Amino acid sequence: MCSRNCPLEADVKDGKVVRVRGAVCPRGQANLDLLYHNDRILTPLARAGGRRNGKFMPVGWDEALEGISDRLKHIRAQYGPESVVFFAGYIKEPRPWLKRLAMAFGTPNYMTESSTCYAASSVAARLNFGCEKFGVHDVGPDPLTRTHVLWATNPEHSLIPTVGAIYDRQRTGMKLVVVDCRKTHTASRADLHLQPHPGTDGALALAVLKVLFEGGMYDHEFTGRYIHGLGEIRAHLSGLSLAGLSTSCGVPEDLIISFAGLVFGNSPTKIQTSVASLLHHVNGVQTFRAVSLISAVSGNLDVTGGNLLWPGGVRLKDVTMTERLESLPPRVGADRFPVWAEIYPEAQAMALPGQTISGTPYPIKAFVGIGPNLMMWPDSTRMARALESLDLVVVADYFHTPTTALADYVLPAATHFERTAVVMRDDGHVRLRQAVIEPLGQSRPDWQIIFDLGHHLGLAETFWNGSLKAGIDEWLSPSGTTYEELASHPEGLKLEVPPNSPRKYLRAGFATPSGKVEAYSTILARHGFEPLPVWEPEPCAATPATPGSGTSVTLISGTRQPSYTHSQGRNIARLRSQQPDPLVSINPDDAAELEIQEDSRVEIATEKGSVIMKARVTREVPRGLISAPHGWAESDINRVLDGEVLDPISGFPCFKGQRCTIRLAGNAQQAKQDSI
């Protein structure tokens, strides 16, 4: 049900799944409620009557696919193929096929939810180390790890199956450090909790680097031989004062010094970072670069028990036709985010609403989305307006959502029980997860929707004439296995992958332009950005709210909720009963000043809009900070966020750290006045 792809066992009787075993989290335990939910969309739908009025009529697949492909061809002829966007939401499985469709159709505008998730960490890892991942893969401590750092990630809610191992290791002597601007349950169990203001982790990381260098706590040989820009970064750090950095991030100096001492003195140290919170900032890429340099400087990069760099996984053939990108017009966002465009082979979806509404640098006319959710975008009202303005919107989903309401065609997607996919792990474990039942109603797997669309667009051969098996075989061709072989090994196979051995750089250096770890990024310099991982306060989060200043606070949005995946699951009673309402966390002292109590209805507002949530009064958040969940259709926090506050390097939005006001909501205020 989420991208961890935990193995489950399904008992099937008379074509019906009757029981699921092995689910390790609340969402997994609700699998059957999803599969057999009464509200599932089970036939293709076409908009009926007026424009975007939310009314639909059932149509046959052929009619839907012909209608969609005719309009796509027409739009391509009139405005050029680049005016068509193919988008995938959180779901990962259909992505290679969808990108292939976009490239074969002729548009560079394939984009995904990765425009807000993970990809900016990959951009930072490429800039620093020339590799795809740092700190976000291979989660949890290794057996040799002595200090484990959870940096802006809260696995108790976001990586539930992995958290037990962390506490087990802590019990046997491993030190746990949590860097989180909230005092989470995990933070309260940590040996050290550093609590920076949101968006100031870059200042904290520079402070740690300063202490490491100036205290002689660094790997002299590695830094001397393998860091490009060593002199420049050391000079930059010398010019900063520890006291100043400590004030900027709000972490006391003695804690910063203890942290640096553990990182170096209690090695190997492994840093596990968020793929989201650290990067949901205007300074996200530079922050991530500074954080990951701590590993390189302290002698923990690419060592066992520290941060081994990802050596690459199962060998696969690129079936996405990504090489075509070079000959196609520039992608959405390429002009604004040239570093992203150079490193990450997708369009930047955060630039989509602006370009759609303005029509510059070129018009966008159609959007075909596999599980898209307009509430993913900051300033989601603007994203809704953008979709409304298009000539064609197609959405494949399980359920009706605020996004399907704006669609011309809604296509019924089959769930993971009803579709076959290859599931792979970084260590080379590969399994074919076969459909266990036929798709309900007329629903179809996403891959099939994409292959079928390809067929109707005259690309049948490109899509193996509809054969998933042939597509998977081509994809797997360099891997040493086939669809058939996987099908006969339901438990999966362990394929040969490059070994995750330490110090891989000894052979050929790092795959950066200089061949070294780039503290001074030659790629950033070439694009006119500051090449050192400097920290600058975010324009939206320059200062924490002054205690007692009334209603103006800093907002972090989207900390994960254990029972839900993003916007999903609110319609599943079993999950809804666990988390019935959107709860915004507020410090008791702030709450008292604003006469907000537990469960009070409160209004969170900016000039973009406002939402109502229920208050959760808790010391988990410090004064001046509130934390609100995302993905609630009636209380969509992204309505209040500014969609143009973006990291100039990655295009990632500032979901954490924008300013807003909070107060008792209208009728709660009225009730209070009435009772006076």
Ligand X SMILES: Nc1nc2c(c(=O)[nH]1)N[C@H]1C(S)=C(S)[C@@H](COP(=O)(O)OP(=O)(O)OC[C@H]3O[C@@H](n4cnc5c(=O)[nH]c(N)nc54)[C@H](O)[C@@H]3O)O[C@H]1N2
Tell me if 5 contacts ligand SF4 by CB under 6 A: yes
E runs forming strands in 310-442: 366-370, 392-397, 409-412, 421-424, 429-433
Cβ partners under 8 Å of residue 377, min gap 6: 349, 350, 352, 353, 383, 638, 643, 653
- For residues 104 to 123, the per-residue mask of contacts with ligand X, x marking binding by CB under 6 A and - elsewhere, is ---------x--xx------
Residue 399 makes contact with ligand X by CB under 6 A? yes
Task: Note whether 202 binds ligand X by CB under 6 A.
Answer: no
DSSP reduced 3-state for 515 = coil
* Binds ligand SF4 by CB under 6 A, chosen from 10, 23, 257, 633: 23
Piece in contact with Mo ion (CB under 5 A), picked from 98-106, 268-276, 412-420, 626-634: 268-276
Residues 171-190 that bind ligand X (CB under 6 A): 179-182, 184
Q: At closest approach, how far in Å is the CB of 22 from ligand SF4?
A: 8
Task: Tally Cβ neighbours within 10 Å of residue 144.
Answer: 13
Is residue 44 a contact point for ligand X (CB under 6 A)? no
> Is 139 an interacting residue with respect to ligand X (CB under 6 A)?
no
Q: Using alpha carbons, list the distances in angstroms from residue 113 to 57, 143, 369.
A: 29, 33, 11
Determine if 562 is a binding residue for ligand SF4 (CB under 6 A). no
Considering the complex, state which of residue 428 and residue 558 has its C-beta at the smaller distance from ligand X.
558
Which residue number is nearest to ligand SF4 in terms of Cβ?
A: 28
Minimum Å gap between C-beta 281 and ligand X is 6
> Residue 259 binds which entry of Mo ion, ligand SF4, ligand X, none, with Cβ cut-offs from 5 to 8 Å by kind?
none
Q: Does 578 bind ligand X (CB under 6 A)?
A: no
Query: ω into residue 141 within 30 of 0, thus cis?
Result: no
Q: Which of 655, 652, 630, 649 is nearest to 350 (CA)?
A: 652
Of the candidates 96, 107, 98, which has an alpha carbon nearest to the alpha carbon of residue 454? 98
Q: Which residue is nearest to Mo ion (CB)?
A: 117
Nearest-approach distance from CB 113 to Mo ion, in angstroms? 7
Interacting partner of 161 out of ligand SF4, ligand X, Mo ion, none (Cβ under 5 to 8 A depending on kind): ligand SF4
Among residues 117, 541, 602, 604, the one that binds Mo ion under rule CB under 5 A:
117
Q: How far is CA 24 from the centre of its chain?
A: 21
Exposure class string for 168-184: b at 16+ Cβ within 10 A, else e: ebbeeebbbbbbbbbbb
Picking from 644, 538, 624, the residue whose alpha carbon sits closest to that of residue 201 is 538
In the structure encoding, which two tokens stand for residue 520, read together? 């001074």
Query: 598, 588 in Cβ contact below 8 A?
Result: no
Minimum Å gap between C-beta 90 and ligand X is 3
Query: Binders of ligand X among 491-530, rule CB under 6 A?
Result: none
Q: What residue 371 binds from ligand SF4, ligand X, Mo ion, none (CB within 5 to 8 A, per partner kind)?
A: ligand X
* CB closer to ligand SF4 out of 21 and 507: 21
Residue 465: Cβ within 10 Å count = 12
**With binding defined as CB under 6 A, does residue 1 bind ligand SF4?**
yes
- Binding flag, residue 157, ligand X (CB under 6 A): yes
How many Cβ atoms from other residues are within 10 Å of residue 78's Cβ? Answer: 11
278 binds Mo ion (CB under 5 A): no
Count of alpha carbons within 13 angstroms of residue 583, beta-carbon side: 17
Q: Which does 459 bind (CB under 5 to 8 A by kind): ligand X, ligand SF4, Mo ion, none?
A: none
DSSP 442-466: T-B-HHHHHHHHHHHTT-TGGGGGG
CA 584 to chain centre: 21
- Please tell me whether residue 248 binds ligand X under the rule CB under 6 A: no
Does 562 contact ligand X by CB under 6 A? yes
User: Could you give phi then psi for residue 20, rounded to 5 degrees?
Assistant: -125, 130
How many Å separate Cα 298 from the centre of its chain? 28
Q: Binding string to ligand SF4 for residues 133 to 172, with x set by CB under 6 A, is what? A: ---------------------------xx-----------
Kindly state whether residue 350 participates in binding Mo ion, applying the rule CB under 5 A. Answer: no
- Sheet of 147-151: strand order equals 192-194, 175-179, 147-151, 269-273
| Residue 252 preceded by cis peptide, ω within 30 | no
Residue pointed to by tokens 């988390």: 579
Structure tokens of 285? Answer: 């890429």
Is residue 4 close enough to count as binding ligand SF4 by CB under 6 A?
yes
Q: Does 27 bind ligand SF4 (CB under 6 A)?
A: yes
Query: Using CB under 6 A, which of the segments 54-62, 465-473, 564-572, 577-585 binds ligand X?
Result: 564-572
Long-range contacts of 511-516 (CB under 8 A, 24+ apart): 511/129, 511/130, 511/131, 512/126, 512/127, 512/128, 512/129, 512/130, 512/228, 514/228, 516/225, 516/226, 516/227, 516/228
Per-residue binding letters, 434-473, with ligand X (x by CB under 6 A): ------------x---------------------------
Q: Which residue is nearest to ligand X (CB)?
A: 558
Nearer to ligand SF4, 6 or 321 (CB): 6
- Applying CB under 6 A, the span of 19-27, 74-82, 360-368, 469-477 interacting with ligand SF4 comes to 19-27
Provide the minimum distance between the beta carbon of 182 and ligand SF4 in the complex, in angstroms, as a whole number. Answer: 22
Query: How much helix, strand and coil, in percent to the nearest 5, is found in the chain?
Result: 35, 15, 45
Q: Is 24 in the site for ligand SF4 (CB under 6 A)?
A: yes
Question: Does residue 560 touch ligand X according to CB under 6 A?
Answer: yes
Q: Nearest approach, Cβ of 365 to ligand X (angstroms)?
A: 22
CB-based contacts of 457, cutoff 8 Å, min separation 6: 69, 72, 73, 101, 104, 105
Determine which helix (DSSP H) or strand (DSSP E) holds 525, and give its type and residue range.
Answer: helix 522-526
What is the rounded CA–CA span in Å between residue 577 and residue 563?
10
Q: How many angstroms separate the CA atoms of 568 and 589, rounded? A: 33
Residue closer to ligand X (CB basis): 300 or 561: 561
Return the range that interacts with ligand X (CB under 6 A); candidates 64-72, 456-464, 490-498, 551-559: 551-559
Residue ranges that bind Mo ion, judged by CB under 5 A: 117, 276
Residue ranges that bind ligand SF4, judged by CB under 6 A: 1-2, 4-6, 23-25, 27-28, 160-161
Residue ranges that bind ligand X, judged by CB under 6 A: 89-91, 113, 116-117, 152-154, 157-158, 179-182, 184, 196, 198-199, 201, 274-277, 280, 370-371, 373, 376, 396-399, 401, 413, 446, 556-560, 562, 564-568, 630-631, 637-638, 655-656
